[in-house]
Amino acid sequence: MKKIISKIFVLCTLVLMFSCKKELLNQDSPNTLTVDQFWKTELDAKKGINAAYAMFYQNGGWNRWIYFRLDLTSDEGWSNSPWTELGDWTRFQYVNYNFWEGNVNTYRDTYKAIFRCNQVLTFVPEIPFGDEKAKSEILAQAKFLRGFYYFYAAILWENFPIVTTIQKPTDSPQQSSLAEVWAQVEKDLTEASADLPEQWTGDEIGRATKGAAQALLGKALLQQHKWSDAKAAFDYLVTGAGKNYYDLVDYKDNFRAENENNKESVFEIQFSDANKTGEGDGPSSNMGSNRAQFFAPRSIGWSDGQARFWLVNEFKKEKTIDNKVDPRLRYTLFYPGLEADFGDKIYGRSWEWGGDEAWFKKYSRDYMRSNEDYFNQVNNRVIRFADVLLMYAEALNELGQTADAYQYVNRVRTRANMVGLATAYPAIGNNKDMFRERLKAERSLELCGESVRWADLKRWGDLDTKENVDKVALRDPDFKNFVVGKHIRLPLPQVEVDNNTNLSQNPKY
For residue 412, tell me if it sits in a domain: yes
Q: Over the stretch 258-289, which tens digit does the pLDDT of each residue have?
A: 999 999 999 999 999 999 999 999 989 999 99
- Asked if residues 144 and 213 have their Cβ atoms less than 8 Å apart, the reply is yes
Q: Over the stretch 42-97, which tens digit does the pLDDT of each residue have?
A: 999 999 999 999 999 999 999 999 999 999 999 999 999 999 999 999 999 999 99
Among residues 447, 455, 448, the alpha carbon closest in space to that of 386 is found at 447
For residue 320, tell me if it sits in a domain: yes
**Residue 176: count of CB within 10 angstroms of its CB:** 22
For residue 408, tell me if it sits in a domain: yes
Share of the chain above pLDDT 70, in %: 94
Q: pLDDT at position 37, please?
A: 87
Answer whether residue 469 shows pLDDT above 60.
Answer: yes
Q: Are strands 333-334 and 359-360 parallel, antiparallel or unpaired?
A: antiparallel
25: pLDDT confidence band, cut at 50, 70 and 90?
Answer: low
Helix/strand/coil percentages in the chain, nearest 5: 50, 5, 45
Helices (H) and strands (E) in the chain, counts: 22, 6
For residue 345, tell me if it sits in a domain: yes
Q: Over the stretch 353-370, which tens digit does the pLDDT of each residue have?
A: 999 999 999 999 999 999
Among residues 97, 92, 101, the alpha carbon closest in space to that of 302 is found at 101
For residue 133, tell me if it sits in a domain: no
Residues whose CB is less than 8 angstroms from the CB of residue 391 and which lie 6 or more positions away in sequence, other chains included: 218, 219, 222, 230, 234
C-alpha–C-alpha distance, residues 23 and 13, integer Å: 18
Distance of CA 467 to CAs 93, 461, 482, Å?
20, 11, 12
Domain count, the chain: 1
Q: Over the stretch 131-148, which tens digit does the pLDDT of each residue have?
A: 999 999 999 999 999 999
In this prediction the pTM is: 0.93
Q: pLDDT at position 28, please?
A: 61
For residue 296, tell me if it sits in a domain: yes
| 188, HSE (Cβ side, Cα atoms, 13 Å) | 29
Cα dihedral 33→38→44→47 (10° resolution):
40
C-alpha–C-alpha distance, residues 143 and 146, integer Å: 5
Measure CA 396 to chain center. 25
Q: pLDDT at position 16, please?
A: 34
Answer whether residue 1 shows pLDDT above 90.
Answer: no
Q: pLDDT at position 29, please?
A: 62
Q: Over the stretch 297-341, which tens digit does the pLDDT of each residue have?
A: 999 999 999 999 999 999 999 999 999 999 999 999 999 999 999
Helix (H, G, I), strand (E, B) or coil at 383: strand
Answer whether residue 254 shows pLDDT above 80.
Answer: yes
Beta bridge partner(s), residue 359 = 334
DSSP string, 292-314: HHHHSPBTTB----EE-THHHHH
Kindly report the average pLDDT of the chain as a whole number. Answer: 94
169: pLDDT confidence band, cut at 50, 70 and 90?
Answer: confident
Residues whose CB is less than 8 angstroms from the CB of residue 402 and which lie 6 or more positions away in sequence, other chains included: 396, 430, 431, 432, 435
For residue 441, tell me if it sits in a domain: yes
Q: pLDDT at position 15, please?
A: 36
For residues 335-355, give the mean pLDDT: 97
Secondary structure, 3-state, 82-98: CCHHHHHCCCCCCCCCC
Answer whether residue 500 shows pLDDT above 80.
Answer: yes
Distance of CA 432 to CAs 51, 65, 181, 258, 439, Å?
45, 36, 30, 39, 10
Residues whose CB is less than 8 angstroms from the CB of residue 130 and which lie 6 or more positions away in sequence, other chains included: 42
Residue 453 sits in which domain range? 291-376+401-461
**Residue 7: count of CB within 10 angstroms of its CB:** 10
Among residues 472, 468, 397, 467, the alpha carbon closest in space to that of 432 is found at 397
For residues 470-499, give the mean pLDDT: 98
For residue 313, tell me if it sits in a domain: yes
